[in-house]
Structure formats: structure tokens, C-alpha cells
């Protein structure tokens, strides 16, 4: 039966290293054999280098882990601070973009050439309503600002609707797509008609267009502004999306899509216009 014995090599190596250390201390103390001492010291360092490297690799992760544990709270706080700074910068960017959109909207409204001479009240949209009963929005200006029921309301693109109710600081605006809404319009040919709301996200229909009137898809339709009209002349209303004249019909079937994006309104202008 084979008997396994521990090798004596590790013990012998350790003994040699201990004896070498004692010898170096003794020689160094006596101040003799300096060159020999240095030679032996160098050899000892070389011999111990692999052991030192191994121990460094072994204990370095432990030291890093301990340091990480000790500084974990500081790192967590720093990460939270950086996250807050990023959130603040994003908030400032969104605010700047919102301000720029509002500025562009106001500039567009002021540039609406057809109503340059009409007194106006700028207002912010505070809420919207889309129901089976009424398509409307609420604005933050009322009687205190000179708003009166029946006044037309526009955006930079064109007609939005008319004021249907007024309180001291708020007003309700019925949208031109509401089924109760009607406005006199004129086509590029010069022929007139009446545009009526078709409901939520539906085109308006234009009545009283003669069968022989030239109507093309994409034609711009504006307010007619005829005598005693509730709306000044020339306000864009919509663009033709469909037109047909069946044989024997007394009028054409014309549909127009609003030029204003009624679902993304931030600012509107109330025109202080009275029918004359």
C-alpha cells in the first residue's frame, strides 16, 4: 500500500529564507560585507517577488470591496445629485421650448393679415371639451378684458370659432367643427356659400355652392365678410377635401378640412368685431 508523505520542500525553503534574513540582519548590524549583503538582499527580493505579487492580487479585491463599502453612501449621494441636476436641465429645456412655441403662436396670430386693423384680446386656452353636446374650449379672458359673446376667435392659421359664453375672467369658445356652427365663406372663384360644422374630427360641409362653380381639391376657403357678418372677411377657414356635382343637383357637395389644428391650441385671439 502506497504511503503519501508531505514534501519537505516548503519547509526547507522557509528555513532557508529565515536563515537568510538572520544573516542579513547580522551582517548589516556589523557593517561588514556591504556588497555581499546587497547581493543577497537583491536575491532575496527576487525570490520573494512572486509571493508578494500573489498576495497583492489576492488581497487587492478585498481592499477594493472594503473601500467600496465604506464609500457607498457617498457614491449614492453623488449619483442622486447628478440625477437631480439632469432632471433640472431637462425641465429648463422643456420650459424654454414651451416659451418658444408660445412666442411663435403669438407672432403668427399678429401676422394674420386679414384682421390687422381689428382690436383684439390674446388669451390662453385653459381647457377643452369634446362631447356629444358641444365642441368647445375655455380661455382665460372674459368680460374684464372686453370679451363679448358672439365675437370671433382665431389662431395664427385661421378661424377657430366664436365666443358662446362669457364670465368676468373666463369665456367659452364653440369650435367651428361643432354641429351648431355656421359661417359664410367665399371660394377662390368668388362664389359664396355657408360652411357648417360636421362634428368631432369631421370635415365641414359647404352649402349653397352652385353646380357649375369651379371647385378644386386643396382650394382655400375664407370668411366672406358679407354685410352684417359675424366674421371679418378673409379669415382662412379650411381647404377643399371633396367636391362633386351630381347630375340634376341644385348645389354641389363640398367638404373642407379646418386649417387650424383644433386639438393643439395653446393661444387664441378674440377679435373685438361687431357685425356692421
What CATH number is given to the structural domain containing 141? 2.40.10.340
CA–CA separation, 75 and 68 (whole Å): 9
Name the β-bridge partners of 194.
184, 207
Provide the pLDDT for residue 1.
Answer: 47
**Cα separation of 219 and 215, whole Å?**
7
Indicate the range of 42-56, 186-200, 228-242, 250-264 predicted with least confidence: 42-56
Give the rounded percent of residues in the chain with a pLDDT score beyond 70: 61
| In a shared domain, residues 198 and 162 | no
| Cell numbers representing residue 184 in the block | 359664410
135 within domain boundaries: yes
Rounded CA-CA distance 207/192 in Å is: 9
Total residues belonging to the chain? 276
pLDDT of residue 36: 56
In a domain, 57, yes or no: yes
Angle at 123 between CA 93 and CA 259, to 5 degrees: 85
pLDDT digits 0-9 by tens, 43-86: 555 555 565 565 556 555 655 555 556 566 677 777 777 777 77
Residue 5 domain flag = no
- Domain end residue (candidates: 61, 85, 110): 110
Quote the CA–CA distance of 205 and 244 in Å, as a whole number. 12
The last residue of a domain, from among 137, 157, 174: 174
Residue 129, in any domain of the structure: yes
190 and 208 within one domain: yes
Measure the CA–CA gap between 271 and 225, rounded to whole angstroms.
14
pLDDT band of residue 23 (cuts 50, 70, 90) is: low
CATH number at residue 257: 2.40.10.350
Residue 140 lies in a domain: yes
Pair 211, 189: CB distance under 8 Å: no
Phi-psi region of 248 (alpha: psi -120 to 50; beta: other; left: phi over 0): left
Q: Are 258 and 237 in contact (CB under 8 A)?
A: yes
CA distance 94 to 24: 74
pLDDT at 63: 57
104 & 126 share domain: no
Residues 146 and 187 in one domain: no
pLDDT exceeding 90 applies to what percent of the chain?
A: 45
Looking at residue 69, its pLDDT comes to 60
**Four-point Cα dihedral 55, 61, 67, 72, nearest 10:** -170
User: How many domains does the structure of the chain reveal?
Assistant: 3
Q: Is the pLDDT of residue 144 over 90?
A: yes
Phi-psi map region of 202: left, alpha, beta (phi>0 left; psi -120 to 50 alpha):
beta
In a domain, 236, yes or no: yes
Mark whether 76 and 29 lie in a shared domain: yes
Q: Do 106 and 16 share a domain, yes or no?
A: yes
More confident residue, 251 or 9: 251
pLDDT at 241 (0 to 100): 97
**Based on the domain organization, do 128 and 150 belong to the same domain?**
yes
Burial class (CB in 10 A: 0-12, 13-18, 19+), 154: buried
Domain boundary residue, one of 54, 80, 110: 110
| 85 and 16 together in one domain | yes
Give domain status of residue 1, yes or no. no
Task: Assess contact for 191 and 245: CB atoms under 8 A.
Answer: no
Closest CA to 40 of 14, 62, 61, 21: 21
Q: Report the candidate in 182, 153, 160, 181 with the shortest Cα–Cα distance to residue 260.
A: 160
Averaged pLDDT score across all residues of the chain: 78
- Structural domain of 247: 182-268
C-beta separation of 237 from 195 below 8 A: yes
Provide the terminal-to-terminal Cα distance of the chain, rounded to the nearest Å: 126
Q: What angle (nearest 5°) sits at the alpha carbon of residue 239, between those of residues 113 and 241? A: 180
Say yes or no: 189 and 144 in one domain.
Answer: no
Q: Is residue 2 part of a domain?
A: no
Amino acid at each position: 500500500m502506497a504511503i503519501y508523505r508531505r514534501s519537505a520542500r516548503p519547509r526547507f525553503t522557509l528555513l532557508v529564507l529565515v536563515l537568510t534574513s538572520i544573516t542579513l540582519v547580522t551582517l548589516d548590524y556589523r557593517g561588514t560585507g556591504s556588497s555581499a549583503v546587497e547581493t543577497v538582499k537583491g536575491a532575496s527580493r527576487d525570490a520573494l517577488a512572486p509571493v508578494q505579487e500573489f498576495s497583492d492580487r489576492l488581497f487587492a479585491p478585498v481592499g477594493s470591496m472594503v473601500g467600496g463599502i465604506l464609500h457607498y453612501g457617498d457614491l449614492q449621494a453623488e449619483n442622486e445629485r447628478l440625477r437631480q441636476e439632469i432632471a433640472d436641465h431637462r425641465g429648463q429645456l422643456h420650459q424654454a421650448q414651451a416659451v418658444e412655441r408660445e412666442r411663435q403662436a403669438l407672432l403668427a396670430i399678429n401676422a394674420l393679415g386679414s384682421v390687422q386693423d381689428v382690436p383684439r384680446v390674446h388669451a390662453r386656452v385653459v381647457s377643452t371639451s369634446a362631447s356629444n353636446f358641444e365642441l368647445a374650449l375655455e380661455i382665460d379672458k372674459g368680460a374684464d378684458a372686453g370679451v363679448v359673446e358672439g365675437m370671433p376667435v382665431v389662431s395664427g392659421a385661421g378661424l377657430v370659432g366664436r365666443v358662446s359664453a362669457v364670465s368676468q375672467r373666463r369665456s367659452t369658445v364653440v369650435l367651428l367643427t361643432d354641429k351648431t356652427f355656421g359661417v359664410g365663406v367665399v371660394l377662390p372663384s368668388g362664389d359664396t356659400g355657408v360652411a357648417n360644422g360636421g362634428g368631432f374630427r369631421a370635415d365641414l360641409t359647404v352649402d349653397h355652392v352652385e353646380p357649375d362653380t369651379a371647385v378644386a381639391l386643396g382650394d382655400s376657403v375664407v370668411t366672406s365678410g358679407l354685410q352684417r357678418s359675424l366674421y371679418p372677411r378673409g379669415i382662412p377657414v379650411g381647404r377643399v377635401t371633396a367636391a362633386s356635382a351630381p347630375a340634376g343637383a341644385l348645389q354641389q357637395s363640398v367638404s373642407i378640412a379646418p386649417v387650424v389644428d383644433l386639438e393643439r391650441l395653446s393661444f387664441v385671439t378674440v377679435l373685438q368685431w361687431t357685425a356692421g
